[in-house]
Structure formats: structure tokens, C-alpha cells
Amino acid sequence: MASVLSRRLGKRSLLGARVLGPSASDGPSGAGSSLEPQAELPEGAAPQRFLTSKGPSCQEQPKEVLKALGTAGLQQVVFQPGQKVYVWHGGQECTGLVEQHSWAEDKVTVWLLDQKLQICCKAEEVWLSELQCVMPPVALPELGAQALAYRPVSRNIDVPKRKSDAVEMDEMMAAMVLTSLSCSPVVQSPPGAEANFSASRAVSGDPWKESGDVSDSGSSTTSGHWSGSSGISTPSPPHPQASPKYLGDAFGSPQTDHGFETDPDPFLLDEPAPRKRKNSVKVMYKCLWPNCGKVLRSIVGIKRHVKALHLGDTVDSDQFKREEDFYYTEVQMKEEPAGLSAPGTPTAEPAPTPRVTSSSLATLPLPLPKAQTSGPEHSSLESPLPSGALSKSAPGSFWHIQADHAYQALPSFQIPVSPHIYTSISWAAAPAAASPLSPVRSRSLSFSEPQPPPAAKSHLIVTSPPRAQGSARKARGEAKKCRKVYGIEHRDQWCTACRWKKACQRFLD
């Protein structure tokens, strides 16, 4: 068992473990990360932070600089007489030589080369020439920060820095700081006083490009057995997407902003990829197993996951009964459905929306008694909506529909023969589910009021055959399949289909 998943787990970050450290390295190089660990030194206070400033040159600085740096950040440096330094004097930066440094009062006497005069000022107003690209660790009173900011620049330029420059730099600094900040607090386990402000923003990163999932450009037609569909090209059904049930918030703690426990991981590390699911807010479950950070949508799913992948199989798990309960935790995530955006309520918290009026009604938004037979159909581009699945039914041909499921039922060859059969069959089965039945607990996000789009959607669904609900799922065959026969522990003996969780080939129904 372990062997099996090992590879897969690889990529998962060790959630629990790392949390704290990472952060620093963001976009740029891997260098950051490598250094990371070491920076962890105790008491260094400032040091580690400056890594984020990416300046490559920093690293090569001789130790002396570092030393200066370390102190400079906090306070003073020991200036050696004769040392070349820069000092802020008369509204501008001047070069000078250290005359003497009175550690006691923390004053430094500097001989200004330019003005040919000697001044005495605070140590903090003097900085070493080697110093550069050093970021003040924390908050210096802005002024200080500012000064620091342009030191490096003016140093080579020798021009009275412009206000604008200063401002610019300042902003830049701010940005950088923010950036680093936003990355670092990935932590967030304890709702302590984190810098959640920027964090949330950065993480949630709305700019997921992502366009609606839309029609998945079919991609070939007849393809493999599973997954493939019959030759007929039916516009792939979008699948009732926004509908997943989703019990009200349920256990969700009313906590609001609260971190996205999972976000950091899955989003930053796991799937920086553009695509994503389309729900609004959900309660998810995260596997706490050492190296697995899996996050599943359903509690059963997670349990299963833990049980099957981490605890071994169900069988012989006598004493471990329900042990899996200890290996997951629930978390909440929020997501933005690509296409439709609720008017207003940008990132707002999904209020505990009231329950849908009546489940029965819910199913109906689609069947608008519109007599559109040959509509423009498709126009997929936009929002998802339960009708999606049906939309595929082109004006007039059920065959398509039937074909659609056909793939699962049969190999696909004899489809051309007499589609009617299937058609009738499927419908026959349908009766059970009369129109109202589909308790589609759909209910997309807030249906506050501008709901028009969905309702007026494309439509043309209809078609008498009342087989609501996405695509009818094949009734489960009664024959024992590999899984049951061999048991999970002998998965390797299953037929491939079963192994892949596809329709069993070995024990056909």
C-alpha cells in the first residue's frame, strides 16, 4: 500500500511540519528557499528578513558588512576612525570619514570630504559605504526607512535625490515589504495576531485567470473505452456544475475571514495551476497524515482516503476502527466561480444563505416553457448552471443523448444500429424519477437577485423525457466486481478497469 501512494504523495507539502518557515522565498529563485533554514537562527532578529530583498550582492558581502548590517538595522555600528561613510547632512547625503565614534552617546564625528568640515551626528545617521541593498528589518520610523531606501542610489549618483524618487522608492519598499509579509504568514495555525490583512488578500488571489470552464472542446471523439464516448460528437456536457449539494454551512464555525488553512498549500504549492473548481464556499476536509495534505470535499471522502491510503484497508482493521477520524480536519475554503460573479459582494463572505425555497423548485429554473426548438444553443461561454447537462440535447435528436450514455453501457460499436432501443430504455428507467424528483440541491452561490442570467439561460433542455439530473447513472450491476471479489488488499489483481475505478471489464454485468 504505501508503495502505491508514495509517488503521489511526493508533491504534497508536509503540511504540518513546515508551516512556519517557508514564506520568504517567493517568486524569485530557489535560492531563497535554500537559505531559509539557516536563517532560522535564534535571536538574529533581523537577519532573515533581508533575504527577501533578493539582492544577490548581499550574500557576498564580507562578514564585516554583515556585522554592520546586523547592528545597523537595530541600532548602531561601531565605526572605525578613518572609515569611509556616508552621512545625511544639510539635506543631502555626504561622504566622509569617520573621525571618531563615541559609543557612549552614540555619536559619530565625521569629516565631510565635500564640505571639508567636521560634524557630529548620531550614529544612526551615518552608514557604511559597503552597506547597500540592505533592507531595514522592520519598521523604522518611516523617515528612517526612507533614508535607507535611497542611500544606495544616491551613493552612485551624487545628485540630490528627488522627492519623487524618494516617494517612489518608498512605495517600492512598501510593496516589497508587503509582498514578503503576505508570503510569510502562511502559517496561520493559531488565529493569533497574524498579519492577516495582506495575507488574505494575497492568498486569495482572485486573479485566477481562468475562464469559464465552458465546453471542454470535446477533444477527439471516439477514444478509449472509458472516458471516450461513442463516435457521435455530442457537445460534451458541461456537467451540472454549480450544483453540488453542500449542506448549509453546517459545522462551519462562523468564523469569518479566518485563514484558509488549506489555501496556502493547495494553492500555492499544489495547484498553482490556473484551473480550478467552481464552487463558492465550502467546508473541506484535510488529511492530516504526515506527508499527505489532501483536501477533500466530503467527509466520507476524507475518511475513505485516510482509511484506504493511510490506515491500510478496511479489512482486518479491527482495532483501528474509525481511527481515521483522527487524521483529518475540516477547513473552509472559498472560491470564486469563474464566470458569474455576484454583483456586488466581491469577496464577501458567503452569508449563510437561507435555504433554497424548496428543493423541488430548485430543479426548475431551467425548464422554462420556452418553445425554442432551434435555438442558438451552445453559447456555452458562460455560467454554469444546472441546465448545462441538458443543454447538450440538441434540438431534435435524442440519439445524441442516448449515445451519450451509451458509452458506458456498451462498447460503442453497435450504437448505430437502433438507437431507439436505448432511448426507450433509458426513458423507461426514468419514470422513477419524475420531473420533480431531482432534489438537485443545486443552489449556486448567492442568488441574491440578479439571478436572471441563469434562469434565462439557454434552455432548450426540455425535451419530454423527464430524466432530470445530469446524465442518468447506470444502475449498478449486481455482479460482484473485482473490488469485492479480491478485496482492496489485492488491488493488483483487479482488472485494470477496476483499478482505475472504471467500469469493470472482467465481471461484466
Partner DNA sequence: CATGCCGGGGA
Partner DNA sequence: TCCCCGGCATG
Site string for DNA, 312-331 (x = CB under 7 A): --x-------x---------
Q: Which is nearest to 72 in space by CA: 102, 45, 96, 92?
A: 45
Does position 477 interact with DNA (CB under 7 A)? The reply is: yes
Does position 334 interact with DNA (CB under 7 A)? The reply is: no
Nearest distance, CB of residue 462 and DNA, angstroms: 20
35 vs 495, which CB is nearer to Zn ion? 495
Task: Tally Cβ neighbours within 10 Å of residue 120.
Answer: 12
Q: Identify the three-state secondary structure at position 56.
A: helix
Nearest distance, CB of residue 413 and Zn ion, angstroms: 21
Under a CB-based contact definition with an 8 Å cutoff, are residues 46 and 70 in contact? yes
Does position 226 interact with DNA (CB under 7 A)? The reply is: yes
Task: Tally Cβ neighbours within 10 Å of residue 318.
Answer: 6
Q: CA of 339: how far to CAs of 241, 267, 351, 363, 454, in Å? A: 12, 19, 20, 21, 11
Does position 277 interact with DNA (CB under 7 A)? The reply is: yes
Q: Which of 87-95, 108-116, 450-458, 477-485 is the region at the interface with DNA (rule: CB under 7 A)? A: 477-485
For residue 245, with 0-12 CB atoms within 10 Å meaning exposed, 13-18 middle and 19 or more buried, which class applies?
exposed
Distance between the two ends of the chain, CA-based, in angstroms? 29
Nearest distance, CB of residue 278 and DNA, angstroms: 9
84 vs 441, which CB is nearer to DNA? 441
309 vs 362, which CB is nearer to DNA? 309
Q: Which of the choices Zn ion, DNA, none does residue 5 contact, using the CB cut-off of 5 to 8 A by kind?
A: DNA
Does position 503 interact with DNA (CB under 7 A)? The reply is: yes
51 vs 482, which CB is nearer to Zn ion? 482
- Dihedral through CA 219, CA 224, CA 227, CA 231, nearest 10? 60
- Segment (H or E) for 287: strand 281-287
Site string for DNA, 283-302 (x = CB under 7 A): -----------x-xxx-xxx
Candidates 46, 460, 482, 503: give the one binding Zn ion (CB under 5 A): 482
The three grid cell numbers given for residue 144, joined into one nine-digit string: 528612517
107-114 LR contacts (CB < 8 Å, sep 24+): 108/79, 110/85, 112/87
* CA–CA gap between residue 421 and residue 404 (Å, rounded): 14
180 vs 380, which CB is nearer to DNA? 380
Specify the length of the chain in residues: 509
Does position 491 interact with Zn ion (CB under 5 A)? The reply is: no
Q: Which residues contact 228 (CB under 8 A, 6 or more apart)?
A: 220, 221, 222, 407, 412
* β pairing state of 328-334 and 92-102: unpaired
| Helix then strand then coil, % of the chain, to nearest 5 | 35, 10, 55
Q: Which of the choices DNA, Zn ion, none does residue 12 contact, using the CB cut-off of 5 to 8 A by kind?
A: none
Q: Which of the choices Zn ion, DNA, none does residue 216 contact, using the CB cut-off of 5 to 8 A by kind?
A: DNA
Does position 498 interact with DNA (CB under 7 A)? The reply is: yes
Q: Which of the choices DNA, Zn ion, none does residue 495 contact, using the CB cut-off of 5 to 8 A by kind?
A: Zn ion
Nearest distance, CB of residue 36 and DNA, angstroms: 23
Summarize as ranges the residues that interact with DNA (CB under 7 A).
Answer: 4-5, 8, 11, 213, 216, 223-224, 226-227, 236-239, 244-245, 271, 273, 275, 277, 294, 296-298, 300-305, 309, 314, 322, 407-408, 469-477, 480-484, 488, 496-504, 509
Instruction: Report the interface residues with Zn ion, using CB under 5 A.
Output: 482, 495, 498, 504, 506
